[in-house]
Structure formats: structure tokens, C-alpha cells
Structure 1
């Protein structure tokens, strides 16, 4: 098959959806399929560093962030003509896979409608929660987005909230997928479902590269090294990830532990100041951003990964990466806990005190040599090869129909 993917951002930029799309492309090609990825052209230093790749169609765009890494392409007739011309010399397209929420989604759905092609739409994000966390006037933004969708794709209903926005995209899709069961069921509860007689949202986890997983497992220590409990927190340092509440809970817990914070973002300085002010008993090291393979090594060497966001994640990759490597987690989000099934210390509520209690419980169990055991089946279910096989089955279903 020839699969054409549409994204909001170029897959060589930073972001979970971009990482997932790169991985999907690699494993689809290994399985004998052809993949073309359509996304906005990148500007600035990042754009100049991207190697020429025949599988990338970089739409003319304008930069939308100060560092010029992220871009936007306007979904209109000029872009339609550009995409049609760029794909005309490529193999006949079998299926369109939209993995975007905004302009990339509009461009992809417009392309599929013009050419009568089946659409699989992967919902990576909770639009309502994401916009509420990143914009000062979320209701206004959502009304504008719904109006923009109606302009780009046609009317899709009267309500103007985040669920109405996602319903409009799903109604134009032959299959809708989500990266977790809890997000899929929430989509269904709000009427976000494909347009035909299949009412359910398909669950296809974002996976981990089989080779990187094998390499990380090979490098993982056979036995736990002596020392205090080792916790890892990793992710983007922004309010919805709740790094600062974690550091407050760490100080309140009074556990003697080694804590490594991996990642970067706007709250780094605030986090460093908070640690200096609270002076937790635990040692805290801000390790910065790391290559993915190195991050996996740090997860494998840790006693537990600490997950702190609540209601924001549609999958929660870090706890699945940890479970695949045999590392348990402290989990704040009850939806993610239910998805994981076992192998974690639950946080009873969103309070600092509850997180401190969970950290104390984890540290006590680790020190006693009795940490919770992860689900051994996650490793095979999380491999990208199995996720690609599941997605190909969906492609074949919509193409046959």
C-alpha cells in the first residue's frame, strides 16, 4: 500500500506525534509499504539541518514560534494544488492517515475528499485540555477553531467546544484510532466516532522501536546497584506536566532518594529555584534533554519513573517505556494507571500530600527489596512491530470497504 500521512508539524521537529510518525513510517516500510509524509516546511536552524528525504513533502509554510522550529501551512486552494502536484508523480495513494489536529488535519481531509480516498484519523491529543493549558482564552480559541474547521471542511454542527471540534474531524473519517483505551472510550462517550457503521474507536498504542528496546534491555543492569531509591521524572517542563508539584511533594515526603529530572522547557529555572528553596532530603539532578536511546538507558537503571500529569495525556508513553524495560512507576493519573494495569504505586489524588505518600510508599518498597512487579506482557504489546501490524489491519479494512 501507499500510505500518505498528514501532520501539523514536520516529523523531524520535537513532539510526541512526530516521534510516533517517524517510527510508524520506518516499520511500515520494513513491512513493504510506501509512506509519504506531508507536513509544513521547517524554517531556521532546524530546517537547515533536516536531510533531504524523498518521503517528505514539505508544504510551503510560515514559522509560528520564535525559534522558527514550528510552522503553519494554510489549508486552502493554493495548498490543495501544491499537494496534488507533489503527489501526482508518486505511486497511487491507497489510504490517507491524518495524524494532526489543526491545519494538517484540514489539508489531509481536503486531499482525501478530492480524490475519494479512505481516511484513518489518529487522535493524538485532547484538544480541549491542551488548549486550556496553553492559551489564556481557551473558549474563544475553541470557537475560532470550530469556525475554521467549518470554513476549511464544511459545517459540522452547532456546538463550539473541543469535543465538537474532534467530532467534526471524526465524521469525515473511515476509521478513528486512539493511542489508549481510556482516550478511545472518552472519545466515544462524546460522540467522536468514524462516519460509517463502525461505532468504536480503534485502540492502537504508540509503540517503541524494537531495536532500541532490545539494545536498552541488553545494557540494563542484571541486578540493582546498591544505594538509595532512584527515581526518574522525564518530560516537557510545562505546567500541565506538573513538575513543580512533584518537587514540592518530594520535599514533603522527606525520602532519601536520588532523583534525576530529564527534559527541558519553560519551567526549568523555576524548578531549580524551588529545589534550592525547599532543600529536599533527596538529591535532585537536572540532566537536561537526552537522546532517546540514552533516556531509555536511564529509565532501565532507575527504580521507578514518576508520572505526574493528570487528565492531559492520551497515552502516557513514559510509563509504558518503563514497563517495557521492567521499571515500575509512580502514577498520578488514574486513567493511565488503569491502562497500565499493574506495576505501579498509585497516587490517591491530585494533592501534594497524596503524591508525597506515594513517593514514601515506593521508596519504602524499593529499599526493602520488594518493589511492585510490572506486567511482563507489556513489553511485547508495546513493540512497534506489533503496533504496525495492528494499524495495517485497519488500513486494509477501510480500503476493502
Structure 2
């Protein structure tokens, strides 16, 4: 330990996800970094390196990039196995940097490598759980779950628990992967109370703190909602365009609500994923629905400012998405359908009576 706790610390944020990817977890990590730096701490980031060329360990303006063994292209996930050589290399780096606290934000190989390095150094491990609620669509994958378990245990170098969270084998495995890391941490951070309660019930013995996702600084100043925007509102849906985020449910609700309000509002969908093609087909013939695909973060903020509210349509998957924090920070409301979500929504949220197409359509009509 290089500094006494209570004063400024040097903190290593660790992510198995590429830090340049525009996603909720990465946005949260960037905002955490800014918030910690504003509080007087020093923060470095350890994350995977893009590309196949270059040294295994590469210094970056943020900290350290680690070249993965390979990348899973569909998931855009770096595979960095946990082994003694990697642990020694990261321990050396953390010692040189005089790191006081390791703060992991993921649960795959790199997180376990740095966990091992922190344990060797005797410094605390903090784990932010961005989502315990891994979920997938399609037929059950029990036939391949054993192989995925074997491969993941090989990568992380640790046995994964087998607590029954759900009957879907692969979803259950990934939730237990999260649990394996949370059980190792001295301090666990959950952005939501309901996820914190579920982690405690699953046997996490470290201190669990509920800390909503932060917005430390606004990259672009926000604009107040105008009367004109309120008269013919626009809604923004922004997330990965995947079944767990339920974009097709919302699109069908939008179409139904447009018919009931004489096309009295517009919607922008932002994000890419496996549901994007189906979403575009649903939106065809409805000029009020604009499917934007992926956009840079500053353009997303501009769309948020042009909107009256943001729509959050996941159910049983998210804990406290960054979209809530960003909407509230820019004085915009949130239409949502998951009654478990509470953080940040007491005064800014509108909960649909039911989470299905009809319930979301009714909510849109009521808001318009």
C-alpha cells in the first residue's frame, strides 16, 4: 500500500471490454474515472488492445492495453487467459504505478488476472457489477453449456459456481460467472438496490454498496425542454439492438400509439445488434420512426436534448442503465416498463402499467 486510505488514492479500473466501444458499461467507467479524478484521486485504466500487432502490453494515455490471445468477433470480446505469467506482468505494472486499489468492472479473464495481481500485492479488490441478469433469446442451449463452462473456467483459471438462477443453462452460467468475481471482492458496488439484494442472497459476503451510475461532467451542455418539444414530443430509444433490450416490443407499441394519436409524436432508435434488420422492417412506411443505427456519443446527446423523454424497454435484465443517469442529468424523463428499476426514477420516471406492446402503447398515448 503506497498511500493511507482517507487521502488521495491511485485506482486501477479494469475492463475485459474494449474501452473504445460505445456501451453502457464503458460509459459508466468513463464517468466513474472522471468523478474519482474530480475527487482528487488518480485513475488508470487496464483494458484490451485492439488489433493483432504490437507488444503484449502497451502503455496508453489512460493506462495499459493488453493484447488478447484472440477476439470473439460476434461479441467483440477479448479473450485474455488468466495464468501465472500474465499475473506476474500485471503485478509488476501495478507495483510500478503504485496502485492502491483495483476496481474490476467485468468478470472475464483480464479481471481475474488483475485480481490475482492485487491479491499478491495485498491491495483491495472492488467489483462493480454492471449486470447480474444475463439473458438470451432463442432455444435453450443446454447441449453446449458444458463446453462454455469448460472454456470459461479455462480462461479465468477458476471454478465457476452453479447456483440456480434460471432454467436457461447458458444464462445461468454467465450469472454464476459474475457471482464468482463478486465473491472475491472486498467491496462490491451495485448501481441498483434490487441487484444488491440478489447478490447478497446469492452468497456475496463482501460489503455491497448501492451507488447509482454517475454523470460526473457533461460533454455538451444540456438544453431545457421547450414548449414546442412538449407539444409534439420526440422519444429516444438508445441501447444495443438486441432481444434483451426489447426494441421490437417498443416499435410495435409506437406503431399502435401513432395510430391512436394521429401521428402525434416521433421516435429515434439508436443502436446496432441482431434485431436491427427486423426493426427497420417494422419502421418501414412510418416516417415518424427513425432508425439511426450506431451513433457517436455526442450525437446521441444531441438527440436526447431534442427529445422529451427517453424510452427504456428492457425487462428483468438491467439494473440501473446509464441511459437513466444521462436522461436525468439532462432533465429529461424516462418511460420504462420494469417495476424493479427505481434508482433515478422517483421523480423522472413513467412506468407503463404492463411491459407488453399494449402497455407501452398506452403509456405513449398518455404521455402524448
State if a TM-score over 0.5 links the two structures. yes
C-alpha distance in structure 2 between counterparts of 1:13 and 1:102, whole Å: 17
Aligned pair count? 345
* Residue in 1 that maps onto 2:10: 2
Aligned counterpart for 1:31 among listed residues 39, 50, 75: 39
Which consecutive aligned stretches of 4+ in structure 1 deviate over 6 angstroms post-superposition?
Answer: none
Gaps of 5+ in 1: 364-401
* 349 and 116 in structure 1: CA distance in 2 versus 1, 3 angstrom threshold: same
Higher helix share goes to which structure? 1
In the aligned structure 2, how far is the partner of 1:6 from the partner of 1:137?
30
Distance 1:22 1:142 in 2: 35
For 1:38 and 1:138, locate their aligned partners in 2 and report how far apart those are by CA, in whole Å.
34
- State whether structure 2 residue 212 is matched by structure 1 residue 205: yes
Q: Structure 1, residues 167-193: CA drift from partner, whole Å, max 9, x if none?
A: 432222111111122221222232233
- The CA RMSD measured in Å over matched residues stands at 3.1
Aligned to 1:21: 29
Corresponding position of 1:258: 266
Unaligned segments of structure 2, at least 5 residues: 1-8, 165-171
Deviates more, 1:113-122 or 1:340-349: 340-349
CA distance in 2, matches of 1:338, 1:89: 39
1:122 aligns with 2:122: no
Report the Cα distance in structure 2 between the residues aligned to 1:14 and 1:134, rounded to whole angstroms: 26
Distance 2:235 2:192 in 1: 25
Q: Does 1:245 align with 2:253?
A: no
> Does 1:352 find its partner at 2:357?
yes
Aligned runs of 1:156-171 on 2, under 5 Å?
159=163, 161-162=172-173, 164-171=176-183
TM-score for the superposition, normalised by structure 2? 0.82
Query: Is 1:11 paired with 2:11?
Result: no
Residue 248 of structure 1, CA deviation: 1.0
Q: Is the 8 A contact 1:13 1:70 kept in 2?
A: no
Q: What is the deviation of 1:264? A: 2.5
Task: Name the SS for the 1:32 alignment partner.
Answer: coil
- Deviation at residue 156 of structure 1 after TM alignment: 6.8
- Aligned with residue 85 of structure 1, among 84, 92, 112: 92
Structure 1 length-normalised TM: 0.76
CA contact (8 A) 1:43 1:63 kept: no
- CA deviation profile, 1:236-279 (whole Å, cap 9, x unmatched): 11111111111111122223222222222332221111122xx4
1:287 paired with 2:288, answer: no
